[in-house]
């Protein structure tokens, strides 16, 4: 019971940290291109992760762990950020939230396939209801659809859900921060080439807010958040704790309202309340 509570608490903290990515990214893209931003954040986090592994003298993962670490890197470092950035060139942020609402379901599915978990049938009902609440809220905000953009979002969700489940499975043996650090190190060569290829021509015109946004998504969204997130999934269960992702769009919008002065609609409060009930139900039957 204690480990389960610790897992949910750690997972919630990870989701709150991830939620700060929304306002931080909105500020950062004012000075950087989306492709450079997604690659540079991985490079910075990868260098920090490598420094941690060296400073704390962590043993290299076994050869048997490399395919799983590669799956984590492909899902959450190389796959999800660039795919969503490309998708958002063709669809609106509101429309993308429809797909983000299905990420907990994808995570739970891969938790069953890769983590050996067996949630009760009622769990899937609450999980589907939560996803429907998020999707309904997003559709109510409007947004254009694009077949290419939708396909990119589907690919991003599947890769991310797989990366979450695989990382949580490894975290039970290697530790949460070790898993994300090794995954970042594996992705470092590819993301370094991409960052250098999209490097801004000059740093002078880029304002301080954009640099601060880049710093947040690099240190917190790409590294620190995963430390808590993978620990939460490993302790509390991939399928159950993964449902906390349903709250991420609402936390992100709340932070955007607080930090960027964006309005908060009553529909957001109502939808968030329904999602909280669905998460509580999923927790009960996970």
Does the pLDDT at position 283 exceed 80? Answer: no
pLDDT of residue 45: 96
φ, ψ of residue 31 to 5 degrees: the values are -125, -20
Query: What is the pLDDT confidence band of residue 230, given thresholds at 50, 70 and 90?
Result: very high
Does the pLDDT at position 268 exceed 80? Answer: no
Query: What is the pLDDT confidence band of residue 176, given thresholds at 50, 70 and 90?
Result: confident
Percent of the chain with pLDDT over 70: 91
Cα distances from 102 to residues 2, 128, 141, 156, 216, in angstroms, run: 29, 8, 17, 11, 25
- Higher confidence at residue 275 or residue 167? 167
Calpha distance 29→37 (Å, rounded) = 7
Cα distances from 237 to residues 104, 123, 146, 250, in angstroms, run: 12, 13, 35, 23
pLDDT of residue 264: 64
Q: Which residue bears the tokens 């906390």?
A: 244
1-29 average pLDDT score = 82
Percent of the chain with pLDDT over 90: 31
Does the pLDDT at position 30 exceed 70? Answer: yes
Q: Average the pLDDT over each of 19-28, 31-40, 163-172, 225-234 and give the range with the smallest value.
A: 19-28
Instruction: List the chain domain ranges.
Output: 2-198+209-285
Q: Average the pLDDT over each of 14-28, 105-119, 129-143 and give the range with the smallest value.
A: 129-143
Q: Cβ distance 193 to 82 under 8 Å?
A: no
- Higher confidence at residue 47 or residue 111? 47
- Higher confidence at residue 166 or residue 201? 166
């Amino acid at each position: 019971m204690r480990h389960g509570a610790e897992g949910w608490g750690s997972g919630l903290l990870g989701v709150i940290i991830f939620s700060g990515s929304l306002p931080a990214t909105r500020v950062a893209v004012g000075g950087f291109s989306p492709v450079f931003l997604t690659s540079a954040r991985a490079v910075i986090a990868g260098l920090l992760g490598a420094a941690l592994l060296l400073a704390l003298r962590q043993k290299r993962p076994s050869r048997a762990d490399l395919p799983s670490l590669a799956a984590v890197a492909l899902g959450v470092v190389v796959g999800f950020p660039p795919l969503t950035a490309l998708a958002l060139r063709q669809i609106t942020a509101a429309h993308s939230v429809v797909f983000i609402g299905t990420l907990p379901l994808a995570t739970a599915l891969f938790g069953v396939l890769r983590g050996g978990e067996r949630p009760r049938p009622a769990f899937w009902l609450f999980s589907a209801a939560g996803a429907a609440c998020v999707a309904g809220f997003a559709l109510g905000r409007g947004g254009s659809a694009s077949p290419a953009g939708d396909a990119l979002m589907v690919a991003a969700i599947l890769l991310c859900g797989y990366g979450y489940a695989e990382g949580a499975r490894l975290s039970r043996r290697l530790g949460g921060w070790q898993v994300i650090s090794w995954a970042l190190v594996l992705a470092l060569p590819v993301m370094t080439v991409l960052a250098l290829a999209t490097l801004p021509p000059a740093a002078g015109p880029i304002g301080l807010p954009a640099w601060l946004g880049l710093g947040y998504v690099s240190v917190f969204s790409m590294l620190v958040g995963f430390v808590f997130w993978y620990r939460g999934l490993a302790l509390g269960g991939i399928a159950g704790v993964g449902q906390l992702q349903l709250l991420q769009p609402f936390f992100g919008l709340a932070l955007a309202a607080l930090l960027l002065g964006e309005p908060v609609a009553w529909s957001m409060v109502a939808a968030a309340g329904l999602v909280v009930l669905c998460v509580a139900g999923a927790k009960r039957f996970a």
